[in-house]
């Protein structure tokens, strides 16, 4: 039976002591009344809901999976999912960060991300239903007409209706310029959509009264490629009435053609959606649909990154619990529990290596992703134009890093933690093999991690000549200058400064190579993203170490063990995990020839 204890102590540490988020929110009129008590209460109640409601149905939901009725084209979620969703709605969690004018609570995105983390730790399959609804809400908030906002946003914010994103088709995945779904204009201003979409998460289910699909399609006269894609809102049931009083009307002409038999996330319905003259309404401008959908896609990429964080935390907690209890062998330095036939495996160095890897990536990922969420709040709500621009730049730069680095780490840590359990990790009863299976999709959907790496090096760094990256580098440099003379901080500041210099040189070198041959960027992309990910983690681990050192000095003999543990994990990260960058810098510099010279027919 899997366990989960909400990491509320570390969440409070990151939000209050490292990020100083409450003070940041005082400068934003929308969030000026958000104080530490509100933050702590949200974290506490969210943790209880996830641990007490979502965790108990995670393994059962995985075993049962979703069921599809081909006669009615209906999908039933696993037992307990609807009851959990009803409780979720009743507690108003769906609209946590939604605008108050549409029935939301208007709280910061940072708290939304903290909620996401705990949901994904306890039940990733279930959490995807409300998570996609948040994305649909945000897309319509930015690009919907007033009538569309008034109609759909209150329903999405309350969770009465759920949302999806319908992009992928059988013949095209990431290359959306190839999509074929058609949208025919009608005299009343609506459109009739026809086509097939696949891999649609939460595309059909029995949790809510209606499902609001956001669908990419082509107009009859649309230009080829991505410049000819429009976005449409296509509800499962056509709404009757307006705004808050809207009800579900006639069934629209779209249906689920089947659900996928998948490796993991069995509790989420991954659907084939058939549009057979379905009625839809355009969102935004003609042929500008991909740009509009990027609001939802980028939000989903951040959420998927946090899925990686949630898996990492869950895997760590369960592996630690097992390692403390499982006795096997003796410590190489002498028996630690001589009254027992063997020592608990947590005494063994290699077991500790695996556990500390997961802990360092979880705590580093928490600080990094929470900071990115804070930048989202600044981008949207800070009154200062410079702060909004900085937030927007950091969101653009860091989205592919959060998505790819955290999910790569999550899968690695899930497999390492399975290794801690040995054979007991490979069987279903302990829940670890489910975490491994669920973690694997996170590296694939919402743009594979290879695509994220190309996006980072190509669009987010080289396209603006490194301007956004230099802004983040300035934060790193400022921290180095402020703490570089501290003897206690030397073990953290020196490697951080060294990596910052190496990133600058590597970026310039790759930019020059890519100017002559674009394959150079492609060949270096994955390694480059790992290096940037570590730069981010090193920066936040150094910040966390500084806070811990300060508290240890101030508290003296009464120091909270939390801070001594934080320093120990920081040292492990800098000495054991950060050196990975040396390999990736060398690999990125090795050039494109070693991956491109072999003719395709010889593979």
- Give the 3-state DSSP-derived string for 270-284, with helices as H, strands as E and coil as C: EEEEEEEEEEEEEEC
64 is an active site residue:
no
Token pair for 252: 């629209």
The per-residue pLDDT for range 176-211, each reduced to its tens digit, is: 888 999 999 999 999 999 999 999 999 999 999 999
Q: Does domain 161-289 have CATH number 1.10.3660.10?
A: no
**Among 232, 238, 234, which residue's Cα sits nearest to residue 284?**
232
H/E run at residue 536: helix 519-555
Identify the bridge partners of residue 239 per DSSP, sorted by sequence position.
Answer: 248
Q: What pLDDT is stored for residue 198 in this prediction?
A: 97
Cβ proximity of 116 and 131 under 8 Å: yes
**Among 477, 489, 487, which residue's Cα sits nearest to residue 547?**
489
Q: pLDDT higher for 237 or 173?
A: 237
105 exposed, middle or buried (CB, 10 Å; 0-12, 13-18, 19+)?
A: middle
Q: What pLDDT is stored for residue 241 in this prediction?
A: 86
Token pair for 182: 């058609």
Average pLDDT over residues 157-185: 93
Only one residue has tokens 């940041």, namely 24
Q: What pLDDT is stored for residue 35 in this prediction?
A: 98
Q: What pLDDT is stored for residue 173 in this prediction?
A: 78
Q: How far is CA 344 from CA 322, 337, 420, in A?
A: 9, 8, 12
Average pLDDT over residues 508-521: 96
Token pair for 359: 């802990």
Token pair for 382: 């800070």
Angle at CA of residue 410, ends 407 and 415, nearest 5°: 135
Cβ proximity of 210 and 235 under 8 Å: yes
Identify the bridge partners of residue 285 per DSSP, sorted by sequence position.
Answer: none
Q: How far is CA 122 from CA 289, 361, 379, 419, in A?
A: 34, 18, 30, 20
Sign of the alpha-carbon torsion through 408, 409, 410, 415: positive
Q: How far apart are CA 428 and CA 533, in angstroms?
A: 32
Q: pLDDT higher for 243 or 217?
A: 217
Token pair for 175: 């290359």
Confidence of residue 242 (pLDDT cuts 50, 70, 90): confident
Confidence of residue 1 (pLDDT cuts 50, 70, 90): confident
**Among 471, 468, 473, which residue's Cα sits nearest to residue 500?**
473
Q: How far is CA 135 from CA 95, 300, 377, in A?
A: 12, 7, 15
Q: What is the DSSP letter of 337?
A: -
The per-residue pLDDT for range 140-150, each reduced to its tens digit, is: 999 999 999 99
- The CATH H-level superfamily of 8-65+76-141 is Acyl-CoA dehydrogenase/oxidase, N-terminal domain (1.10.540.10)
Inform me whether the pLDDT recorded for 244 exceeds 80: no
Q: What pLDDT is stored for residue 292 in this prediction?
A: 85
Confidence of residue 273 (pLDDT cuts 50, 70, 90): very high
Quickly count: other Cβ atoms within 10 Å of residue 100's Cβ.
12
600 exposed, middle or buried (CB, 10 Å; 0-12, 13-18, 19+)?
A: exposed
Give the CA dihedral 197, 200, 204, 207, nearest 10 degrees: -160
Q: How far apart are CA 232 and CA 218, in angstroms?
A: 10
Average pLDDT over residues 350-355: 98
Q: What pLDDT is stored for residue 243 in this prediction?
A: 79
**Among 15, 32, 27, 211, which residue's Cα sits nearest to residue 114?**
15
Inform me whether the pLDDT recorded for 119 exceeds 90: yes
Q: What pLDDT is stored for residue 176 in this prediction?
A: 84
The pTM of the whole model exceeds 0.75: yes
Average pLDDT over residues 581-595: 98
Q: How far apart are CA 394 and CA 475, in angstroms?
A: 11
Confidence of residue 295 (pLDDT cuts 50, 70, 90): confident
- Identified catalytic residue from 138, 416, 433, 446: 446
**For the chain, what is the mean pLDDT?**
96
């Amino acid at each position: 039976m899997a366990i989960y204890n909400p990491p509320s102590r570390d969440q409070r540490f990151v939000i209050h002591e490292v990020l100083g988020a409450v003070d940041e929110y005082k400068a934003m009129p929308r969030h000026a009344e958000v104080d530490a008590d509100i933050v702590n209460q949200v974290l506490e109640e969210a943790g209880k809901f996830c641990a007490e409601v979502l965790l108990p149905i995670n393994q059962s939901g995985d075993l049962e999976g979703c069921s599809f009725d081909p006669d009615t084209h209906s999908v039933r979620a696993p037992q307990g999912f609807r009851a959990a969703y009803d409780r979720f709605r009743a507690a108003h969690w769906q609209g946590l960060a939604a605008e108050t004018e549409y029935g939301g609570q208007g709280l910061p995105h940072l708290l939304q991300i903290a909620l996401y983390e705990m949901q994904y730790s306890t039940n990733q399959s279930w959490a995807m239903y409300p998570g996609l609804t948040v994305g649909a809400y945000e897309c319509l908030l930015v690009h919907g007409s007033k009538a569309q906002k008034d109609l759909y946003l209150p329903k999405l914010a309350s969770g009465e209706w759920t949302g999806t994103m319908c992009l992928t088709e059988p013949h095209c995945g990431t290359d959306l310029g190839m999509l074929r779904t058609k949208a025919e204009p009608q005299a009343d201003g609506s459109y009739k959509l026809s086509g097939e979409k696949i891999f649609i998460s939460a595309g059909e289910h029995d949790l809510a009264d209606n499902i609001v699909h956001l669908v990419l399609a082509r107009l009859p006269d649309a230009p080829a490629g991505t410049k000819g894609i429009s976005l449409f809102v296509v509800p499962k049931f056509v709404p009757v009435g307006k705004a808050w009083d809207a009800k579900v009307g006639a069934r629209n002409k779209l249906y689920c053609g089947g659900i996928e038999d998948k490796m993991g996330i069995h509790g989420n319905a991954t659907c084939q959606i058939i549009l057979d003259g379905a009625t839809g309404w355009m969102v935004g401008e003609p042929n500008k649909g991909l740009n509009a959908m990027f609001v939802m896609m980028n939000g989903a990429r951040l959420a998927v990154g946090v899925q990686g964080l949630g898996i990492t935390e869950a895997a760590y907690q369960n592996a630690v619990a097992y390692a403390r209890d499982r006795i096997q062998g003796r410590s190489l330095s002498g028996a630690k529990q001589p009254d027992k036939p063997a020592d608990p495996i947590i005494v063994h160095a290699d077991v500790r290596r695996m556990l500390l890897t997961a802990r360092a990536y979880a705590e580093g990922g928490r600080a990094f992703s929470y900071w990115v969420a804070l930048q989202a709040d600044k981008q949207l709500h800070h009154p200062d134009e410079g702060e909004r621009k900085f937030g927007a730049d950091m969101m653009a730069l860091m989205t592919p890093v959060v998505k790819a680095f955290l999910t790569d780490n999550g899968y690695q840590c899930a497999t390492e933690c399975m290794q801690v359990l040995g054979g007991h990790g490979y069987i279903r009863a302990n829940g670890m093999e489910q975490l491994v299976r669920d973690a694997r999709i996170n590296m694939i959907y919402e743009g594979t991690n290879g695509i994220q790496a190309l996006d980072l090096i190509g669009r987010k760094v080289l396209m603006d000549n490194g301007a956004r990256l230099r802004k983040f580098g300035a934060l790193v440099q400022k921290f180095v200058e402020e703490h570089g003379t501290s003897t206690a901080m030397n073990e953290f500041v020196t490697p951080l400064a060294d990596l910052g210099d190496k990133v600058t040189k590597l970026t310039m070198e790759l930019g020059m190579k890519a100017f002559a041959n674009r394959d150079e960027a492609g060949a270096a992309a994955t390694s480059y993203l790992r290096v940037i990910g570590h730069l981010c983690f090193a920066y936040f681990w150094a910040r966390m170490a500084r806070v811990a050192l300060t508290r240890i000095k101030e508290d003296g003999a009464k120091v909270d063990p939390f801070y001594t543990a934080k320093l120990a994990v920081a040292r492990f990260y800098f000495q054991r995990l950060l050196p990975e960058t040396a390999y990736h810098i060398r690999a990125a510099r090795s050039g494109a020839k070693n991956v491109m010279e072999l003719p395709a027919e010889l593979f």
